[in-house]
Structure 1
Amino acid sequence: MESITGDGYAYGYRKLTHMLRQDHALVVNEKKVYRLCKELDVLRPQRKLRQKHPRKLAQNRTITAPNQLWEVDVKYGYIAGEDRFFFVLSYIDVYDRQIVGYHIGLTCEARHAVEAFRAALWKRQILRRNLPLPIIRSDNGPQFVSHLFESECERWNVLHERIPPKTPNMNAYIESYHRLLEDECLSMYEFETYAEAYQVVVEFVSRYNNRRLHSSLHYLSPAEFYRRHLETGLQPRRPVRV
């Protein structure tokens, strides 16, 4: 019984097995230690797992206006001069194709996804104008399955839906944007520093939003199409289905 509390610590059967091997040179395996602890009724209670937020699977939808559905994902690039990676997290409005919020950094955690989401809400003036909040669609990356990100969505009463594994076509708009980011930006540079990579990606996002033409948006840039939609009700050339 004394060994079970090993130096004042409440050990489980796995650590207890290693302690018995090290301190008493016993030839014993974990299964036997578990069985003996169970017979002596000294097994530690199972740790209670925190209740996770239930996953909401992505649904097929027809999007009829901006700010109804934002897709989010993470892309990484390489800094040759520093031999390390950096990350770009982006939110895209699937209706007008505009990047409404993004994060660039040497790390990409749940808090960065939350900060970029808040910035996007303010950029689109959704909170100030008391507009309905968008649905957020993501994959099952660690940033998006985290307690912090899910709590943020609950705070704003935002529906967060996640695509099933191995179905990138259900996140098609952000995947398409990241292909452009790779082909027209990241693959064209051999970055020497993080500062250089950061500046190049910022310039690309601005060029994409304000200058890059989209055939589905009447050959307008995302920002110009968004402006005309607000002013005249201009619709995309084809229905937006996700």
Structure 2
Amino acid sequence: MAGRKRHSAEEIVRKLRRADELAAAGSTGEQIAAELEVSAATLYNWRRSYGGMDLDAAKELKDLREQNGRLKRLLAEAELEKDALREVAKGKILSPDAKRTAVDMLETTLGMSERLACKAVGLARSTFRRTKVADTPQDPDAELRGWLRDYAVRNPCHGFRRAWAALRHDQKRQINVKKVHRLWTEEGLQRTVRSARKRSGQSSAPAFIEADAPKVVWAIDFQWDSTVDGKAIKIASAVDEHTKQSVLNIVDRSIDAPRLVGELERAFTAADGPPMVLRMDNGPEFISEALRGFCAGRVGLDYIPPGTPWNNGTAESFNSRMRRELLNRNHWTSLLEAQVGIGDYKQEHNTRHRHSSLGYLTPDEYAAQCRHTHTPVACEID
């Protein structure tokens, strides 16, 4: 069956003129339509649209109608693109993966064609159809991706920098930290970090002594946990502010001043001598006569102003990390289990945790090679 013929404006005007001649000769409407090889309805529509026009006017009218149709389609597509972008997300969509996801959503949710969806989000159709290397068996980073996923399962509180440090120093693999960050993000392992609110203002206390060498300042602090039966566990920790080593481990139901003094004496012996300063808050165990008498003439006591825990940031940071990585992830069935678990964590902190501030060395590795000596700067120690 022959396809439908589309007449140009010139042909329509010529056939209308021929129809007028046949009508003047006495032909009926059916005869005229058969002569012109069109239907009577088509002939009627032609007369309504082009009747009385010359050739140029008819051609101009048809061009205007075609142009108007194109403008309507363009306007409809533009409005559809705006609706699509409002439906997808606010702001710009930058990465190709995000654009692929947006195109899939537009096709399934709004029923848009692939061509129009790709145009709306600004993605080439060839890019949309191309399979990512990461989704193919030929992915060169497949083994590394698996290692990062296993690391994230073992250490859910760690970020990509600590994963990179483990690869670089523990696994002895030469790899760029930016590549680890990219793969870490692509695998969906990136965590939302909510930093504590920053405080501004100057302390009214005199300047603190700077921990510019080992055994200059030890920062001490307490924190609490509990066993599954609801009984309290008190934890005392001390950290060398220069080497980041954990030098004190007390875990008990309660810790009084005499117990603290006895454990500090053992810590001083293990470290081959006391530090110059103990930095702490104004807790009852720290301001006790027992501790002040023990430290008199040996160790200085640096009390931070009340309500300013940021002035003891090293101890607060250590406690916060232990809270996230250990205490919040474990339920202690007994005091002994807590003592063993916390003791192992502090030992692992000294031997395996790599600090960016120490050049990604562990505290023990840094302390073994540190040759810094303290330079007094107008400081007095009781």
User: Which of the five TM-score ranges fits, normalised by the shorter chain?
Assistant: 0.5 to 0.7
Q: Post-superposition shift, 1:197?
A: 1.0
Counterpart of 1:135 (choices 246, 267, 277) is 277
CA distance in 2 between counterparts of 1:152 and 1:189 reads 35
The residue that corresponds to 2:355 in the other structure is 214
- Residue type of the alignment partner of 2:292: E
Q: Post-superposition shift, 1:98?
A: 0.4
Residue pairs, 1:30-179, within 5 angstroms: 59-80=207-228, 82-126=229-273, 133-154=275-296, 156-179=297-320
Q: For residues 107-147 of structure 1, what are the alpha-carbon distances to aligned partners after superposition, in whole Å with 9 as ceiling and x for unaligned?
A: 111112212211221111126xxxxx420111011110111
Q: Post-superposition shift, 1:58?
A: 6.3
Which SS does the other structure have where 2:286 is aligned?
A: helix
CA distance in 2 between counterparts of 1:74 and 1:143 reads 10
CA distance in 2 between counterparts of 1:223 and 1:58 reads 32
When residues 58 and 122 of structure 1 are mapped into structure 2, their CA distance, relative to the original with a 3 A threshold, is farther
CA contact (8 A) 1:91 1:117 kept: no
Determine which structure has more spread, i.e. the larger CA radius of gyration. Answer: 2
Higher normalized helix content (fraction of residues): 2
- Residue type of the alignment partner of 1:223: D
CA contact (8 A) 1:210 1:224 kept: yes
Higher normalized strand content (fraction of residues): 1
The residue that corresponds to 2:183 in the other structure is none
Residues matched between the structures, number:
169
CA distance in 2 between counterparts of 1:94 and 1:169 reads 14
CA distance in 2 between counterparts of 1:109 and 1:195 reads 19
Q: Post-superposition shift, 1:166?
A: 0.6
Q: For residues 85-107 of structure 1, what are the alpha-carbon distances to aligned partners after superposition, in whole Å with 9 as ceiling and x for unaligned?
A: 11111111100000112211111
CA distance in 1 between counterparts of 2:225 and 2:280 reads 20
Which SS does the other structure have where 1:59 is aligned?
A: coil
**Structure 2: runs of 5+ lacking an equivalent:** 1-204, 374-382
Q: Post-superposition shift, 1:76?
A: 1.0
CA distance in 1 between counterparts of 2:208 and 2:303 reads 12
RMSD (CA atoms)? 1.7
User: Hey, which bits of structure 1, 4+ residues long, moved more than 2 A?
Assistant: 57-63
Which SS does the other structure have where 1:67 is aligned?
A: coil
CA contact (8 A) 2:223 2:235 kept: yes
Question: Normalising by the residue count of structure 2, what TM-score does the alignment of the two structures yield?
Answer: 0.43
CA distance in 1 between counterparts of 2:254 and 2:210 reads 34
Q: Post-superposition shift, 1:192?
A: 1.1
Matched, 1:228 2:369: yes
CA distance in 2 between counterparts of 1:214 and 1:225 reads 10
CA distance in 2 between counterparts of 1:118 and 1:134 reads 14
- Residue type of the alignment partner of 1:160: L
Paired-residue identity, %: 25
CA distance in 1 between counterparts of 2:223 and 2:310 reads 16
CA contact (8 A) 1:58 1:162 kept: no
Question: Normalising by the residue count of structure 1, what TM-score does the alignment of the two structures yield?
Answer: 0.66
**Structure 1: runs of 5+ lacking an equivalent:** 1-56, 128-132, 235-242
The residue that corresponds to 2:62 in the other structure is none
